[in-house]
Structure 1
Amino acid sequence: MADHGEYRRIDGLDEEYGDDVVAAVQPRGPEYAELEIADEGTFGDEDDARFHEQFSTYDPHSIKATVWKRRRFSLVHVCLAVVGCLGVYITASVIWSSASGSDSDMAAAPRASASDPGSQEPAGRSRKKLVTYENVGAVNGLVQTRALDWVAHPTESIDGLYREMAGDAFVIRRADNSTWVQQLATRGDVEAAAAAAGIDFTLLGWSVSADWEFLLFKVRSERVWRHSERGTYVVFNTHEHTLAPLTAEGNNRVQRVDWAPVGHRLQFARDNNLFVTDLQHEIQVTDDGSDSVFNGVADWVYEEEVLGSAASSLWAPDASAVAFLRLDDTPVPEFQYELFHPENRSVVYPDTIRLRYPKAGAANPLVSLHVIRPDFGAQSGRASDNPDTAFHPQPVVFEEAFAPEDMLITNVVWLTDHSDRLAVYAMNRVQDRLKVYVVSADPKKLSAKLVRERSTSDDGGDGAWIEINSSPIFVPRASVPSLTADAYIDLVESGEHTHLALFSPLDATEPVRWLTSGNYDVVSDSVAFNPKTAHVSFLSTKESSISFNLYSVSLSEGNAEPQALSPPSAPGPAIRARLGADAARNATYGASFSTGGGFYVLSYKGPHVPWQAVYSTASPEFELVLNDNTAAQKELDAFSLPTTEFLEIANDAGDAMNAMATYPPNFDRSAKAKYGVLIHVYGGPNSQQVSQAFSLDWMSALASQRDVPDMPWIIVRVDGRGTGYRGRRFRSAISRQLGLLEPADQAAAARHFQSQTFVNPHRMAIWGWSYGGYTTARAIERHSDVFRVGMSVAPVSSWRFYDSV
């Protein structure tokens, strides 16, 4: 599923709020696969995990693969996070005892035992256990999820393959209920080879080459930024059982590494230079990498705000070429901060970190695109030493390009089975203009032809930002009989919503066919194409704007309508028992497709306890259950859990906003002025908090607390104007006026609950983190007549200090 909390900046905000506007960006590019792939995480988002870590005796780091998301604040606000956490701690206690004339009935009471993870409800009520702040991590950890790391067969003759560790063996399995398995090596094999080579071996992660002849192991790693690291890698030969360093020089400074789609070539970055190797010859593609020049690896702002990845290069499908970005940060001002080392008492002086950090109004990195065709047979060493300049990195020349200082390259994709065509997506700095290019990758000259252009500032446009959500998928002409030329599928805004469009030929200026249409959005980064059946699969909000469902549409049938793949049409008994009466509209799903598109993991994400199963696009009756979580369901049955209600609340403009209210166990709707309301806000552009996804987090514990007898809190989340999946008008309403409509919509929701007889209208609180902290601060500033308490954690205090992209 898309990660809806990732943000970037765009210019153009009015004078009152600074030069930047926030827009959303989704992570791009595959991450290096880690060893632990079984669990997706314990906490719903970074806010939950970090808050829990600060104020709980329970250690969230004991949970494997904690998901960290939505840390979109400027480096200068890191210190504010510390202050904010103290503020949350102090203000949380204020919530319980905030004074007013009508609050006199809120007497203090003894706390339930904090050390008892099975604290019981008071006598006279259900004797089930309650979720507490101390046990919420363990309770949530009862629900297991699993990811299949799909791999392709070297000859592509078998689909539905995935890699995993089975005990101490590194294996390839088949997701079709068969006993087929391919053992690549055992841990003992690798450790013996490491001992023979004198290599220290600590297994942190692994991957396999496309021909299955080599394994790549990460044996050391040092975190740099959100998506980046420096590490040490070794390569194991599965035939000879030998182990060797990835590179002879600087192997402990490797920034990223990727296998080629065929064979066993690798590309990697070191010291901000790009290298390629066939494991016999190593070619240094660039030699000008420095603290201010980045080749094939993202600088800070591209990693954080544009690509969502440290990678800025990609192999051609036939592994004969690599396209990469060169980012020149020389004009970007330098930001410095001190890094202390409390974990090492022997280090008494901090390090001074220097970072090229473009603030609002400052210069951005200068970006250029290059292609290298390595000649492993002719040389090793630097590509620039090759006398044949055809093997040097070649720059791409753009037609009608933006000015260099105004240009962002947001996506690069190969549109070919070989290495002859590229699609490039470029935007201006304000991000109200998009240009799509097709590059003919002639070795002598790489010319980029402008094939599509869009501007929201033209006559009739809203002037708001354009989302970075395009990730085109190549469609070979042979895979669809009706095509007369190669094609590609792209996500394009059509009126109010984002839909799938088919472009053919590759330089077409308009779609030859819209694959989807209607009052819903196709979810970015969810699209898969099966060339054997000519079907496109995708997640969309067709059933509800707060749920994702899986669909498939045929390219072979003229105007075929999308067909639902969720819920499964022929579930087995284990899954059938878990499906409700309205399992399509009142449910949300995720999906992951095999490399050939013939199998997929369907992940039911909520609102009830999640489950996962593998299905086949060719056989609806096939089902392989990965996790039904029946054991977790039985454990959770012993708890009295908060209940969630989904509702719509009108804002002052008459828009129906999605909202969800989490009510305490044994909620009494007939009570009079009994409950306080705490609004948990994020509210950033194109984000989404209100979802059908199952969630047990520290807010669930807060709704279950019994610190004050009969006075627990109702937790409310509201997706106001600016958030996603409600159409462009709703999303772009906040453009150039951040901090006005978002808090107004939260106040409207608060007033709705103030009117409910079971709510104490004087006990209204709001809190948020990062953009939510900003919205909270603005809500307290503008709507103090509604909110009695606000907790603003790590807010954006001034857009002048935020990054510029």
Structure 2
Amino acid sequence: MPKISTLIAFLFLVTTAAQAQEKKISLEEIWGGAFQTKGMQSLQSLNNGQEYIVQEYDRQKGEMKVVVYSYKTGKKVRTLFSSIDMRGLNFFQNFELSDDESKVILGTEIEAIFRRSTRGIFYAYDLEKKELQLIDDEPIQEPTFSPDATKVAYVKNNNIYVRNLSNNKKTQLTSDGKKNEIINGVTDWVYEEEFAFVRAFQWNSAGNQLAYLRFDETEVTEFSMDLFGSYGQFLYPQQEVFKYPKAGDDNAKVSLHCFDLEQNKSIDVDLGEYEYIPRIKWTNNANLLSVQTMNRHQNELHLQLVDVSKNSTSTIFKDTDEAYVEVTDYLTFLADNSFIWTSEKDGWNHIYHYSLDGQLKNQLTSGNWEVTKYYGYDKESKRIFYQSTESGSVNRGVYSIQLNGKGKQNLATEPGTNSASFSADFTYFINTFQNTITPPIYSLYLAKNAKLVRKIKDNQKLEKKLSRYALSPKEISQLEVNGEMLNMWMIKPTGFSEDKKYPVFMSQYSGPGSQSVANTFLGANDYWYQLLANQGYVVVCIDGRGTGYKGRDFKKVTQGELGKYELEDQAEAAKILGKYDWIDQDRIGIWGWSYGGFMASNAILQHPDVFSTAIAVAPVTSWRFYDTIYTERYMKTPQENAKGYDDNSPITHASQLDGNYLLIHGGGDDNVHVQNTMIMIEALVQANKQFDWRVYPDKNHGIYGGNTRLHLYTLMTNFILENL
């Protein structure tokens, strides 16, 4: 009897396991968050380098608090501050410590403006005195402590203010701010989107000077879009109006100024000829400000030094490129005011060390690989810490190197994606590791020798959960296309057999410097691709020419004609795949979002012999409709390069549609305007071409909120099943 029972139990387990393996992913699970990975809470290192802080919320007590933990043990050390200690503030959404960690800015009632910008009600809280101070009784932007934490500068209604926390006095530094005309201290729409920053003012180290940018938008054309709201919200559509410079049109006139708080006056800084000021940053000298300026073509970048005590300017360094120069976020001034810089000047993105007069001291990294992140400089060990593609363009490793370019150390280089977060004094770093089969693992290491201190967190529960589903591996490889070895991933159908014929669904983004083929774990779209694989599709993604991390020449070959070489690569890759015995070359589809939507549209219009089906979400359909900074960086202006704009516009090729085309857009997209889709629709109608389209009212470029993503992906899934 025991043997029979054991056999029955074994058969039951095998049967149960087999049934579990057959479980299929659903869209409801994907967009309901069933497969989310556990991450590290948004931690911040304290100055001592031995502790970090995390924002936490106790629902039972209704207590919002910031808690201090030990790096070494991971155990709670103390509570730094709590809403229970504050009178008048029970909840805060974000916080920012002062440099000396004596005070904290707390934000509440935060509302989004555009992609990165917000406004809200903010308080300053003194950690020692446990005193709470309202910074302003109206919504403000970008409140920032002075270095000694005695003052807070911020922007309200396009003007800059400073609140003195000692006497509670408020000083208005500018007075000409006006919506859609003059902006002081924060960026306009196009700077925020394309130069990726909002706060356009900086305190010097002495806290007596505030450098800031002023945007004169008067001559920039207004863009408007109607927002409809939900039923009963308002009777008439509400119009959102803001300045948006489209390719070839006038930009805001941006100028640099510096306000002396001791003398209570501002100076205008003459920077010579330029179009853009993408970065400002004080050096360690309280009177010396660094400024990066660029011409309109963005192929010349000047690093200038402004001596505010004399109001004099000198150019110390110039970076040029036949195509365009990447703006670096990694400018770092060392104790002697020499500086760290990153550049593609040798054909690959690497780290350089310059003296303050702009003379090259050393190229710290070199090789046919790219530095992808600069983590910082440790003055004690005199080492630079960085992330790079040294182990292959789809991988990321973490390294350190001496300031003289010698003594490189491998800190985290297991094949896959390694990303580090260092403690303030570079004693420790938390490494996040993942690859296509391993969800994120978080581990603490010593920075000096990469010795493991402790494992922090993994996602074994998710791995166990996924083991019950029918999943196919995401295989990373390379495909030779048009003389280049292109990175590719492929997901084959569950139960794949080379004796069958399968349709292919291609995913891509293809934008300049982007990467879609990477050795990372599954994201939301990857689960969707698994769902399609369960339905019998081969899903493929290929990074063609123009994408990133394979050197300057590979990336910038598309200059002046966005969409040409990228499309050649996607079409040729599809043809190559179509020759595989197990692929049905008559059933190849493609999709993409934003730039990827531009590409998917061009694919079905210009290569109807290759692609039978395409889905374009929020596509650019003509670069004439997109903003100045992004578009002109790669295309120059339409006045200079009309052919480049029009030859590769999907609108130009509307009459060639001969397949299944689904066009999707958000009606409230402030980035890629729904105008792109509407003009495309009109071109297709006039060409008497049938197609499908969907507009999601009031939704921005991300098309989300409530059930929107579920609805969107249900729409796309059904379209694929019906047409491919």
TM-score range relative to shorter protein: 0.7 to 0.9
TM value normalised by structure 2: 0.79
- Aligned partner of 2:291 in structure 1 is 424
Deviation of the 1:224 alpha carbon: 1.1
Relative to structure 1, is the Cα distance of residues 687 and 161 closer, same or farther in structure 2, using a 3 angstrom cutoff? same
Matched residue, 1:690: 517
For residue 643 of structure 1, what is the aligned residue in structure 2? 473
What secondary structure, in the 3-state scheme, does the structure 2 residue paired with 1:664 have?
Answer: coil
Superposed counterparts of 1:133-212, under 5 Å:
133-137=27-31, 141-153=35-47, 157-165=48-56, 167=58, 168=63, 169-177=65-73, 181-190=77-86, 193-194=87-88, 201-212=90-101
* Whole-Å separation in 2 of the counterparts to 1:226 and 1:205: 17
Q: Tell me the equivalent position of 1:677.
A: 504
1:562 alignment counterpart? 408
- Residue 489, structure 1, aligned to residue 374, structure 2: no
| Matched residue, 1:100 | none
Deviation sequence 1:116-175 (CA, Å, 0-9, x none): xxxx9999887342222221245664421114432443xxx5544334337444233331
**Aligned-partner SS, 2:372:** coil
Kindly state the Cα deviation for residue 722 of structure 1 after the two structures are TM-superposed.
0.8
1:358 matches 2:254: no
Q: 2:383 aligns with which of 510, 535, 542?
A: 535
Deviation at 1:267, TM superposition (A): 1.7
Is contact 1:133–1:698 with CA below 8 Å preserved after alignment?
no
Q: 2:279 corresponds to which letter in structure 1?
A: N
Query: Residue 565 of structure 1: CA displacement?
Result: 0.7
Pick closer, same or farther for the CA change 1:137–1:264 going to 2, 3 Å.
Answer: farther
Instruction: Find out whether 1:253 has 2:142 as its counterpart.
Output: no
Structure having greater relative contact order (Cα 8 Å, sep ≥ 6): 1
1:609 and 1:629 in contact (8 A); partners too: yes
2:550 counterpart SS class: coil
The alpha carbon displacement at 1:288 in A equals 1.2
* 1:518 paired to 2:367: yes
Shift of 1:493: 1.5
Letter in 1 for 2:393: S
Provide the identity percentage: 27
User: Counterparts of 2:103 and 2:478 in 1: how far apart (Å)?
Assistant: 54
In the alignment, is the contact (CA less than 8 A) between 1:502 and 1:515 conserved in 2?
A: yes
Residue matched to 1:662? 491
1:538–1:602 CA distance, 2 compared to 1 (3 A): same
Does the C-alpha gap of structure 1 residues 788 and 447 become closer, same or farther in structure 2, counting only changes over 3 Å?
Answer: same
| In structure 2, distance between residues paired with 1:245 and 1:348 | 36
Q: Does the residue aligned with 1:745 lie in a helix, a strand or coil?
A: helix
Query: Which amino acid in the other structure matches residue 266 of structure 1?
Result: V
> Which residue identity lines up with residue 449 of structure 1 in the other structure?
S
- Residue of structure 2 in register with 1:469 after alignment: 328
User: Cα deviations across residues 577-605 of structure 1 (Å, max 9, x unaligned)?
Assistant: xxxxxx2xx31111222222322221113
SS across alignment from 1:393: strand
In 2, Cα distance between the equivalents of 1:142 and 1:454? 42
What is the aligned counterpart of 2:572 among 748, 757, 760?
A: 748
Give the TM-score of the pair, scaled to structure 1. 0.72
> What is the aligned counterpart of 2:277 among 400, 409, 421?
409
Tell me if the contact between 2:475 and 2:490 (Cα under 8 Å) persists in the aligned partners.
Answer: yes
Q: 1:260, CA displacement in angstroms?
A: 3.4
Alpha-carbon spacing, 1:511–1:234, altered in 2? closer, same or farther (3 Å): same
Give 2:616's aligned residue: 792
Give the equivalent residue in structure 2 for 1:294: 183
Q: Structure 1 residue 275: deviation in Å?
A: 1.6
* In 1, Cα distance between equivalents of 2:33 and 2:214: 47
CA contact (8 A) 2:103 2:149 kept: no
* Counterpart residue identity of residue 277, structure 1: R
1:507 alignment partner in structure 2: 357
Equivalent-residue separation in structure 2 for 1:392 and 1:667 (angstroms): 73
What is the alpha-carbon distance in structure 2 between the residues aligned to residue 141 and residue 258 of structure 1? 37
Question: How far apart, CA to CA, are the structure 2 residues paired with 1:592 and 1:283?
Answer: 38
SS at match of 1:545: coil
Which of 417, 422, 431 is 1:588 aligned to? 417
| 2: CA distance, partners of 1:317 / 1:594 | 22
Matches within 5 A, 1:595-610: 595-607=424-436, 608-610=438-440
Which residue of structure 1 aligns with residue 3 of structure 2?
none
Preserved contact between residue 642 and residue 703 of structure 1 (Cα < 8 Å): yes
Change (3 A) 1:476 1:281: same
CA distance in 2, matches of 1:474, 1:593: 18
Aligned match of 1:547? 395
Structure 1's 738 and 395: CA in aligned 2 closer, same or farther, altered over 3 A? same
8 Å CA contact 1:325, 1:368 repeated in 2 = yes
In structure 1, the residue corresponding to 2:218 is in which secondary structure?
A: coil
Deviating more after overlay: 544-553 vs 259-268: 259-268
Following superposition, the deviation at residue 754 of structure 1 comes to: 0.8
- Deviation of 1:768 (Å): 0.7
| Per-residue Cα deviation, 1:663-721 (whole angstroms, up to 9, x for no partner) | 233333x2332x2111111101011101001114244334334885xxx1111111111
Compared CA separation, residues 761 and 181, structure 1 to 2 (3 A): same
Q: For residues 274 and 517 of structure 1, what CA distance do their matches in structure 2 show? A: 43
CA separation in 2, counterparts of 1:233 and 1:356? 27
Partner of 1:631: 461
Report what 1:7 is aligned to. Answer: none
1:315 aligned partner, one-letter code: W
Unaligned runs of 5+ in 1: 1-119, 376-387, 457-462, 478-485, 568-582
Is residue 724 of structure 1 aligned with residue 618 of structure 2?
no
Please, what is the CA RMSD of the aligned residues?
Answer: 2.5
User: Which AA in structure 1 matches 2:556?
Assistant: S
2:270 corresponding residue in structure 1: 397
Q: Which of 205-214 and 526-535 deviates more?
A: 205-214
2 CA distance for matches of 1:756 and 1:310?
A: 49
DSSP-derived class of the 1:523 partner: strand
Distance 1:436 1:706 in 2: 51
Match status 1:451 vs 2:316: yes
* Counterpart code for 1:455: T
Shift of the 593–733 alpha-carbon distance from structure 1 to 2, 3 Å rule, reads same
| Counterpart residue type for residue 317 of structure 2 | R
2:160–2:173 contact (8 Å) kept in structure 1: yes
CA distance in 2, matches of 1:206, 1:702: 38
1:736 aligned to 2:560?
Answer: yes
CA contact (8 A) 2:54 2:66 kept: yes
State the AA in 2 paired with 1:257: P
Query: Structure 1 residues 512, 498: closer, same or farther in 2, change over 3 A?
Result: same
3-state SS of 2:426 partner: coil
1:527–1:172 Cα change, 3 Å: same
| Matches of 2:175 and 2:518, distance apart in 1 | 48
CA distance in 2, matches of 1:311, 1:261: 16
Partner SS, residue 67 of structure 2: strand
- Aligned-residue offset at 1:497: 0.4
CA shift, 1:178, in A, is 6.7
Higher strand share: 2
SS of alignment partner, residue 625 of structure 1: strand
Q: Which amino acid aligns with 2:162?
A: V
Alignment of 1:775 onto 2:599? yes
What is the distance in 2 between the residues matched to 1:487 and 1:173? 35
- Quote the residue 2:149 is aligned against: 263
3-state SS of paired residue (2:199): coil
Aligned to 1:29: none
Aligned partners of 1:206 and 1:216 also within 8 Å: yes
Q: Quick one: which amino acid aligns to residue 560 of structure 1?
A: K
d(CA) in 2 for partners of 1:691 and 1:362? 37
* Contact 2:162-2:170 at 8 Å conserved across structures: yes
Amino acid at match of 1:625: K
Q: State the AA in 2 paired with 1:363.
A: D
Instruction: State the alpha-carbon separation in 2 of the partners of residues 491 and 334 from structure 1.
Output: 36
Q: Distance in 1 between matches of 2:96 and 2:574?
A: 50
Alpha-carbon contact 1:643-1:664 (below 8 Å) kept: no
